[in-house]
Amino acid sequence: MAIVSVIGAGSWGTALAHLLENNSHDVTVWSCVESEINMLREHHVQKEKLPGVKLSDKTVFTSDLKEAVTDKNVIVLAVPSPFVRSTAKNMAPFIKDDQIIVNVAKGIEESSLMSLSQVIKDEIKNADVCVLSGPSHAEEVGAGIPTTIVVGTSKKDTAEYLQNIFMSDVFRVYTSSDVTGIELGAALKNVVALAAGIADGLGYGDNTKAALITRGMAEIARLGIVMGGRLETFYGLSGIGDLIVTCASMHSRNRRAGILIGQGKSYEEAMKEVNQIVEGVYAAKAGIKLAKEHNVTMPIIEQVNKVLFEGASPKEAVYELMVREKKVENLDIRVLYQNNPEITW
């Protein structure tokens, strides 16, 4: 049995707490929102964000961050990406050396262009920071629907330890040392999911969505390989797997927001209606900044930015993608990959 704290009581944090307690671990759940903690203490259900998933009577709920992170084997950081730095900074004074912290948020910090694991390490320099990612809607994990996911860390023993903690007969966990590839796939797939939702909102069909998924992943892989990620990661669970589920499911807040934008709403209106953090809106600007910094062409990410922030119409964006100059499929990815050294434990 491990002693685990989940920092963040949203849908994903609650689903992971439920999974961990079902795996017979000692679980604490933290939220900075006192009303949220009171609700969980009274009902043991996150009634607003994950109704129907009841947490154990043994689960501890607290709004005291020191209590939540002290003397834990594993800390799962499950706050939305815009709040990762501030939460990590507040945690830092209470964190012991080599504390395992598992980040499950997906994004890139726009101001620094750091991945979220880099953000955490920037604030908590003595921590052993890992990532958990893959096609895993909270609603389905909470319901015990079979799910596969990947844990990424530079330390093989930590990866295997976490694999044992999270893995169950309905939650299969793979390990990887490619933290960079996992995090870039996780963050930028949300931007492509916005594009897929926009296409749905415009009334386009399966052909369009398939094109966005495949060419979107080509863009993500181009950037990721230049930044040190591995090609197989982008065509694995945290890459194409997560991209497919986020582009296709109505559980996806990014797809739902994209549908509303395709129907004519602004991204602010769409986010308000979805009533949850839409990570792709935050990742879009960071993604195009990284593309320019590394001299990588990312036309889908570019057009999403134009729709979100520059007033371009969704139909105009699709037209611009369709009339781009002629290209050879995937040649650029092969060349980049051949020049990228293999990363091993």
Active site residues: 189
CA distance 142 to 145: 8
| Dihedral class, residue 24 (left if φ above 0, else alpha if ψ from -120 to 50, else beta) | left
CA distance 280 to 286: 10
Sign of CA dihedral 88, 90, 91, 96: positive
The answer to whether 127 and 156 have CB atoms below 8 angstroms apart is no
- Render the burial of 282-309: b for 16+ CB within 10 Å, e for the rest: bbbbbbbebbeeeebebbbbbbbbbbbe
Q: Tell me phi and psi for residue 197, to 5 degrees.
A: -65, -40
Rounded to a whole number, what is the largest CA-CA distance in the chain?
Answer: 60
